[in-house]
Amino acid sequence: MPDIQIADRRLRVPAGSNLLDQLLAAGLPINYSCRSGHCQSCLIRAEPGLAPAAAQASLSPAMQAEGWLLACQCAVQQDLRLSLYDPASDGLPAQIEELTPLTAGVLRLRVRPARALRFHPGQHLVIWLPCGTARTFSIASQTDRPILEFHLQQRPGGQFGERLLQLSVGAQCYLGSPSGHLHYQPDWQDRPLLLLARGTGLAPLQAIALDALQQGHTAGITLWHWQRGEQPCYLQEELDQLAKAHPNLQLELRQQDHLETDLRRLRVPSRRTLALACGSQAFVEQLGRPLFMAGLGRAQVLHEVFTQR
């Protein structure tokens, strides 16, 4: 049976067992969320060169070289010496600049990193609170701004949201490394974009739309958003102003009750259209057939799935 040495503990675990499961069973303080290798909140470090390749596949080359791996993706086949992720030393310090409630139970969080952060609008990163609670959020701001913006859906019993609201402006948090494939590419300039979001899935897509427009995107951009309940889109005013300034941006800001009807009449302006979707797993799966029937192949659809623990 392989040995795991971590935090002055030695664990003997069954060969092939999942590392995250074993660490949780031992009561070790490791964060996790999606269990699919997407959110990257279960980072842990092995000795460089000894981390299983499958557990590093979705990480950047720099993180791989430092020995980082995702515990949820690690099947333990050999002895491992590990160290837990420490946000204070391994993350980037940031100061909370704003906590503003928007409509539909959405909270706007703005933070100022201690140093410039390289990212693309629409990518995601892990935010760690001082208490150790962490969650992954999509970046809703542009690279030319010193402050990063995130949109949080407030839910009853949501641990991260409740603990965030206990902090005040000026409090410190920590940021992980940006990652994710959902961002604008310069060679998309003459390809129509179809952006589809539900809830705070709007956060990365409105950032991508603005990034595309600032880079001189020439084809049309259609942004669909479905809001739960009777309230308007939580960014209605900001998006209306953006569309007024850019005639090639078309808005379809709808209520959740219209989703199925809207998907049945979904059309794309060109077979060269690219679709970017963001929201819950169920929402993204619901888009699959309508996009296929509209003439888009799998390679023309990019998505970001929001997961909840």
pLDDT of 309 > 60? The answer is no
Answering whether pTM is above 0.85, one says: yes
Q: What is the pLDDT of residues 110-128, one digit of tens each?
A: 999 999 999 999 999 999 9
Mean pLDDT calculated for residue range 187-191: 96
The per-residue DSSP string of the chain comes to --EEEETTEEEE--TT-BHHHHHHHTT-----S-SSSSS-TTEEEE-TT-S-GGGTTTS-HHHHHTTEEEGGG-B--S-EEEEE--HHHHSEEEEEEEEEE-GGGEEEEEEEESS-----TT-EEEEE-TTS-EEEEE--S-TTSSSEEEEEE--TT-HHHHHHHTS-TT-EEEE---B-S-S--GGGTTS-EEEEEEGGGHHHHHHHHHHHHHTT--S-EEEEEEESSSSPPTTHHHHHHHHHH-TTEEEEEEEGGGHHHHHHT---S-TT-EEEEEEEHHHHHHHHHHHHHTT--GGGEEEEEE---
Q: What is the pLDDT of residue 282?
A: 94
Structural domains present in the chain: 3-85 (3.10.20.30), 88-175 (2.40.30.10), 186-306 (3.40.50.80)
Q: What is the pLDDT of residue 73?
A: 93
Q: What is the pLDDT of residues 29-60, one digit of tens each?
A: 888 877 877 778 889 999 888 888 989 988 88
Q: What is the pLDDT of residue 305?
A: 87
Percent of the chain at pLDDT > 90 equals 75
| Token pair for 41 | 């909140």
pLDDT of 180 > 90? The answer is no
From CA 301, how far away is CA 143, in angstroms rounded? 24
The least confident of 8-12, 90-94, 184-188, 271-275 is 8-12
Q: What is the pLDDT of residue 233?
A: 95
Q: What is the pLDDT of residue 308?
A: 62
Q: What is the pLDDT of residues 243-301, one digit of tens each?
A: 999 999 999 999 999 999 999 999 999 999 999 999 999 999 999 999 999 999 999 99
